[in-house]
Amino acid sequence: MNAGSEPRHESIPELDIVSHDVYERGVPFAAYDRFRSEAPVAWVAEGPHNGHHGAGFWSLTRWQDVVDVHKDWRTFSSELGGTEIEEMAPDAIAARRTMLETDPPRHTRLRQLVNPAFSKQTMQRYSAGANRLIDRLLDGVVGAGPFDAVAGLARELPIRMLVDILGVPHDDAPQLFHWADQIVYNADPDYVDEQVGDVSDRADTDPYRLLPFRSPVSLKVFDHFERLAAARRTDPAADVITVLADATVDGVPLSERERGTFLLLLLIAGNETTRHALTQALIALARHPEQFARLRAEPDLIDTAVEEVLRWACPQVHFRRTATAGTQIGEQAIDAGDKVVTWYVAANFDPAQFTDPYTFDVGRTPNRHVTFGGGGPHLCLGQWMARLEARVFLEALVRRVDHVELAGPVERLRSNFINGIKRCPVILHPA
Ligand code: HEM
């Protein structure tokens, strides 16, 4: 890997943008800024110093490079090495593969199965329900003193919407979403499975390497989904589980494992990320009261406010691609097989793309953030769902809240993958 060409941009040794510990303390914005200006396509070695165990990777922090790589899926494959930094053997890649780790044309077929359920048009049907739900949630917390915005607000809206779209019985939701947390937050001691410990990229978790995120908890989710799919075969409904229960691709039925990983992808992607976008929206409004006052005075700014919240929050920190052939990124030669990591948060604060990127501006336009990816075939399936949630959330706050106060320390997730907030004490002062 990277044998033919000597890397020109070495990493900046004193800067760490990879370790989970770094992100638990805060997003390393200053380090991203230095990488972007001094080594925008930097070769980052992996090892004990950053908790990863591969051959190293190219690290991209410029907006333009992230967009170019995402659009050129032929050269930068999601399928060859998967989309996580973790180095996986071919059997693990195959066993864990979802549409996220599949290149066209098969990716297109898989995505067509679920596109209708998440389209912009379909989402409009959920708007009234989402409004009612957020109002009910706010009834209990506006003016009621300090509460945890994650548990009390931000976690609930995405889960309840997703349950309806997928077709998960409401009684099953708490268990399923608890498992989803354990699976994806696999580097945070607050969430990891009691019996297994930290299941992130570690050699002693090898027994689980064929399971998503190396987490044995995923087996429980697969079992549960199979029972739900069996029930839908005799009692179909207008939901995604019904669609996937008997889905075929090019005439071949999905295997039980493919169905399981597909639904698990939706379960995780549909709730974890949006939860953090809503929490980060509250934090931004608390720290920039003048922007909240501006939005309250000019509610027509709601569209630009939603996009700015999404740019600012950027809940997905990175994804990975693998080069299928020798190529160039900027002036840097890339070898076939090289791993390339796109740092979305860094790209969203690139001054070459965003004027005054560190200014939170609810009227920002244009705002071509890469929160949902840089474009290309994998652009987020749930972008309209996330936008709807952010919009109803902001609209309700504008209607009912005078100002947001942070009422204690914000606790961050230990993860270089999800830019997440675990607990966020706030007070919502009534309008
Ligand atoms: C603010 C919230 C969200 C963020 C930040 C986010 C982020 C992303 C990103 C960056 C990608 C691109 C991955 C790549 O190019 O490799 C992606 C893809 C995806 N997202 Fe989201 N997402 C969000 C909400 C949702 C929701 C609500 C769903 C609903 C189920 C969802 C489902 C998916 C799926 C299934 C994919 C894979 C698409 C494909 O491979 O074609 N996401 N998301």
**Ligand 1 pocket by C-beta < 6 Å: which residues?**
70, 78, 83, 99-100, 111, 118, 265-266, 269-270, 273-274, 277, 315-316, 319, 344, 371-373, 378, 380-382, 385-386
Average pLDDT over residues 80-89: 90
Can you give 157-222 as a three-state secondary structure string?
HHHHHHHHHHCCCHHHHHHHHHHHHHHHCCCCCCCCCCCCCCCCCCHHHHHHCCCHHHCCHHHHHH
Q: Which of 119, 381, 393, 417 to mutate to test the pocket of ligand 1 (most atoms within 8 A of CB)?
A: 381
Question: How much is the pLDDT for 413?
Answer: 92
Q: For residues 133 and 157, is the Cβ–Cβ distance under 8 A?
A: yes
State the pLDDT confidence band at 210, using cuts at 50, 70 and 90. Answer: confident
The conformational region for residue 197 under phi > 0 = left, psi -120 to 50 = alpha, else beta, is: left
- The answer, yes or no, to whether residue 307 has pLDDT greater than 50, is yes
- The answer, yes or no, to whether residue 326 has pLDDT greater than 90, is yes
Task: Return the closest-CA partner of residue 373 out of 405, 343, 404, 339.
Answer: 343
Distance 331 CA to ligand 1 centre (A): 30
Distance 378 CA to ligand 1 centre (A): 8
Q: Which of 372, 384, 392 to mutate to test the pocket of ligand 1 (most atoms within 8 A of CB)?
A: 372
CA-based torsion, 366, 369, 374, 379: positive or negative: negative
Rounded to whole angstroms, the Cα distance separating 214 from 423 reads 25
Share of the chain above pLDDT 70, in %: 93
Q: In sequence order, what are the residues at sequence separation of 6 or more whose Cβ sits closer than 8 angstroms to the Cβ of residue 94?
A: none
Rounded to whole angstroms, the Cα distance separating 242 from 239 reads 6
Amino acid at 356: D
- The answer, yes or no, to whether residue 303 has pLDDT greater than 90, is yes
Share of the chain above pLDDT 90, in %: 78
pLDDT by residue (tens digit) across 106-141?
999 999 999 999 999 999 999 999 999 999 999 999
State the pLDDT confidence band at 5, using cuts at 50, 70 and 90. Answer: low
Which is higher by pLDDT, 3 or 113?
113
State the pLDDT confidence band at 89, using cuts at 50, 70 and 90. Answer: confident
State the pLDDT confidence band at 6, using cuts at 50, 70 and 90. Answer: low
Q: Which of 77, 107, 109, 380 to mutate to test the pocket of ligand 1 (most atoms within 8 A of CB)?
A: 380
Distance 262 CA to ligand 1 centre (A): 13
Task: Return the closest-CA partner of residue 35 out of 66, 6, 4.
Answer: 66
Q: For residues 29 and 63, is the Cβ–Cβ distance under 8 A?
A: no
Q: In sequence order, what are the residues at sequence separation of 6 or more whose Cβ sits closer than 8 angstroms to the Cβ of residue 105?
A: none
- The answer, yes or no, to whether residue 197 has pLDDT greater than 50, is no
Rounded to whole angstroms, the Cα distance separating 176 from 174 reads 6
Question: How much is the pLDDT for 4?
Answer: 45
- The answer, yes or no, to whether residue 190 has pLDDT greater than 80, is no
Distance 159 CA to ligand 1 centre (A): 15
Rounded to whole angstroms, the Cα distance separating 46 from 400 reads 48
pLDDT by residue (tens digit) across 251-263?
999 999 999 999 9
Which is higher by pLDDT, 217 or 192?
217
Average pLDDT over residues 43-49: 83
For ligand 1, atom 11, the nearest C-alpha belongs to 380
Model pTM score: 0.94
Distance 232 CA to ligand 1 centre (A): 26
Q: In sequence order, what are the residues at sequence separation of 6 or more whose Cβ sits closer than 8 angstroms to the Cβ of residue 60?
A: 40, 41, 66, 69, 329, 340, 341, 342, 343, 346, 347
Average pLDDT over residues 198-222: 73
- Residue 410 has what DSSP assignment? P
User: Hey, how many other C-beta atoms are within 10 angstroms of the C-beta on 216?
Assistant: 16
Question: How much is the pLDDT for 347?
Answer: 98
DSSP 281-308: HHHHHHH-HHHHHHHHH-GGGHHHHHHH
Average pLDDT over residues 60-86: 96
**Partner residues linked to 249 by β-bridges:** 252
pLDDT by residue (tens digit) across 328-366?
999 899 999 999 999 999 999 999 999 999 999 999 999
